[in-house]
Amino acid sequence: MWLGLDDTDSLLGGCTTLVFHQLLKDLPCEYGEPRLTRLWPFANRRTRGNAALSVEIFCGEEIIPWLDDYWKSNIEPLSGKIGESEHSDRKQFPADPGMVLFNKQPDEIHYWNAVRGEISFIQGGTQWGGHGRIGAAASCSWRAHNATWEGIAWTNEERYVSEELLTKVTELHGTFLCRDPRTSRGLISPRGNSPILFGVRAINPDIATTATNILLEDCSDVIGHRVFKTNQSTGDHIEREYTHTVENIEIKKGGHVIINKSIICFSDSGDMNILCQWLESGDEISCIGLEYEGKLHLEGIRVLNSVSKLRPMCQCGTRMKSMGKNQGSRCPKCKTKSPNNWELSERIPPFKNWVQPPYDKRRHLAEDLSSYHKS
């Protein structure tokens, strides 16, 4: 059977991963590998990290009365909590927990729809609660063919993790996104109101477990820790790669760049923003991102071709001028003529291959573009 949970937290605090961890500790049956599934970042009622939890449990329908009692006692009371954001004017919604139980794993299409767009409830199984059932069911339907792992620890105290041990974990082969190479700031601890002490990411469960145990040697007292299989850094939210010819570029006050009136690159996107400001009309680009309200929110870009057009240079050292459409050029100084209207030369972009935002500005789902090869 497949058990899923989502939407127990708000900006006031709480964490669905911790609620799920406690549920697993109390569960009166065996279970498989817990999974943390990030979903579509623009979902209307998304929670802070927009992550849902699921696990395969090894029991029969006799578990339903136990789950029903657990829901009423431990999860349903979390409903209704709401906080306001100081950083976003996006409408906030109260926590609306949802739990689902399916006899067999739901169709995989529910996951793909939920990671790439807005979806609603699916039918079947036994379900408790409100909107959280949507993400819970989507997590259950994830087949996890492409996965990473994250070791998470929770605390009731002020966050503290040894910098020395963080450095050790950062240098451990197989961990990733532990520290921002630009600023050296650690990326394993959230900054918001959350019981998560740290979350360390790795390419397999053994490395995630090793890294977690290293950090536990010198940190705040924890109330629990667990390794989750995740879809983080898989790029599952990206459906395809787009190719465009640049027609126009608008650089907004503050540094946001809008390409062709529909591709948005935000000012805090680091090298990606620098590259977008470098582009000129006629450049050919390839990009990836998420479409939302008619705009592509850029997550990666590369230059396919960039050529500058200049009037021909006369032998006397003067730049020629056009004599009219398709009539060639003429030197304004010595009157020498040329049949060419333009001279073309390759422009070398400031960055080769794919460019993406800095580590601390990437989505949880964002794949490392140095190995990107979707078509």
Q: Indicate the DSSP class of residue 32.
A: -
Other C-beta atoms within 10 Å of 22: how many? 16
* Predicted TM-score (pTM) of this structure: 0.86
Q: What is the pLDDT of residues 192-233, one digit of tens each?
A: 788 999 999 999 999 999 999 999 999 999 999 999 999 999
8 Å CB contact between 133 and 99:
yes
Please tell me whether residue 162 adopts helix, strand or coil conformation: coil
For the cut 80, the answer to whether the pLDDT of residue 286 exceeds it is yes
Interval 158-168 mean pLDDT: 96
8 Å CB contact between 249 and 280:
yes
8 Å CB contact between 328 and 335:
no
| Residue 175, pLDDT score | 96
Q: Which residues contact 269 (CB under 8 A, 6 or more apart)?
A: 276, 298, 357, 358, 361
Beta strands at 35-38 and 224-230: parallel, antiparallel or unpaired:
parallel
Residue 207 CA to residue 211 CA, distance in Å, equals 6
Q: What is the pLDDT of residues 303-312, one digit of tens each?
A: 999 988 778 8
Average pLDDT for the chain: 91
Q: Which residues contact 267 (CB under 8 A, 6 or more apart)?
A: 254, 255, 256, 273
| Residue 327, pLDDT score | 86
Rounded to 5 degrees, φ, ψ at 248 are -155, 155
Instruction: With cut-offs at 50, 70 and 90, classify the pLDDT of residue 127.
Output: very high
**Residue ranges of the alpha helices (H) in the chain?**
16-26, 63-70, 109-116, 132-141, 163-170, 205-215, 271-278
For the cut 90, the answer to whether the pLDDT of residue 313 exceeds it is no
Instruction: With cut-offs at 50, 70 and 90, classify the pLDDT of residue 283.
Output: very high
Q: DSSP letters along 64-75, please?
A: HHHHHHHIIIII
Q: What is the pLDDT of residues 185-202, one digit of tens each?
A: 999 998 878 899 999 999
How many CA within 13 A on the CB side of residue 31? 21
Closest Cα partner for 45 from 3, 2, 98? 98
Q: Which residues contact 38 (CB under 8 A, 6 or more apart)?
A: 49, 50, 51, 115, 230, 231, 232, 237, 363, 364, 365
Other C-beta atoms within 10 Å of 255: how many? 15
| Residue 257, pLDDT score | 97
Instruction: With cut-offs at 50, 70 and 90, classify the pLDDT of residue 91.
Output: low
Question: Using CB atoms within 10 A of its CB, is residue 74 exposed (0-12), middle (13-18) or buried (19+)?
Answer: middle
Structural domains of the chain, ranges and CATH numbers in brackets = 2-141 (3.30.70), 148-230 (3.90.600), 242-306+348-371 (2.40.50.1010)
Residue 368 CA to residue 357 CA, distance in Å, equals 10
Instruction: With cut-offs at 50, 70 and 90, classify the pLDDT of residue 324.
Output: confident
